[in-house]
Amino acid sequence: MERTADTRGEQQKNSSLAAPRLACLVVPLFPLAARLRSEPALRDEAVILCEGNGTAAHVVAATRKARKAGIRPGFTLPQARALLPDLLTRARDAESERAAQEALLDVAGTVSPRVEDAGDGVVYLDADGLERLFPDERDLGHALIAAAKRESLPARCGLASSKLAARVAATLPDSPVVVPAGGEAAFLAPLPLAKLDPDAEIVETLARWGLASVGDLAKLSAADVASRL
């Protein structure tokens, strides 16, 4: 009996020390996805989403057909039209983006009562306690992706024990991506620094330091970073 009690106590201790599991839903090219959600007939057309007016207008995102023609974010409207004269243009729409974000939050809320709005097509949810419904975390990821698809949102999903790892996992194409508990550092290490979504100036600085991956950055001590800066 003592051994059984000790075992139970150890299990409870380990459970209390276990890192929480988080899921992250990400909608790539969210402003464009939100606009296409409100105008689904445009999905198969060559469409760009623009910001700015007149000659200051620039491409924020483009549909697959437009990207195949060589159009990229940052192009001016004349540059884009030079590649594809029949290109369709749309402006960013705050209302459609708000509605799409609310729909994404509703999707997360169908499986967990604890949801965080991270803005611009990103939502976190607490995945702890969902084992009875989804014994395999990949099943949870597939369920969330399917629910988002029913809301006309092409979401990806990542699961991990930290927000950073879950969000990075959700940006990878082979979705859903599950990072084992305790494996966050090993998962992030080989990935390019761009996966951390740093500012362009920081990217240039880190490149001058000869850093290419998250692991390269993690190897530097705080003192090393301070001295280089």
Q: For 72-80, what is the mean pLDDT?
A: 94
Given the DSSP bridges, would you call strands 58-62 and 47-51 parallel, antiparallel or unpaired? antiparallel
Q: Which residue has the higher pLDDT, 100 or 210?
A: 100
* Cα–Cα dist 171/175, whole Å: 8
pLDDT in tens, 36-66: 999 999 999 999 999 988 778 899 999 999 9
Q: What is the pLDDT of residue 214?
A: 75
DSSP element (H, E) containing 98: helix 94-109
Q: What is the pTM of this model?
A: 0.80
Q: Is the dihedral of CA 94, 40, 150, 169 positive or negative?
A: negative
Amino acid at 46: A
Q: What is the pLDDT of residue 15?
A: 40
Among 134-143, 151-160, 182-191, the range scoring the smallest mean pLDDT is: 182-191
Per-residue tokens: 221:
């001590």
Q: What is the pLDDT of residue 198?
A: 64
* Cα–Cα dist 173/129, whole Å: 27
- For the chain, give the percent of residues with pLDDT over 70: 83
DSSP element (H, E) containing 51: strand 47-51
Q: What is the pLDDT of residue 208?
A: 75
Nearest to residue 177, comparing CAs of 154, 160, 191?
A: 160
Q: For 87-113, what is the mean pLDDT?
A: 96
> No. of H helices and E strands in the chain?
11, 8
Query: Is the pLDDT score of 229 beyond 90?
Result: no
* Cα–Cα dist 161/9, whole Å: 23
DSSP element (H, E) containing 122: strand 122-126
Amino acid at 150: R
- Quick check: 214 and 195 in contact, CB under 8 A? yes
- Quick check: 162 and 127 in contact, CB under 8 A? no
pLDDT in tens, 154-184: 999 999 999 999 999 999 989 999 999 999 9
Q: For 137-160, what is the mean pLDDT?
A: 97
The average confidence (pLDDT) of the chain is 86
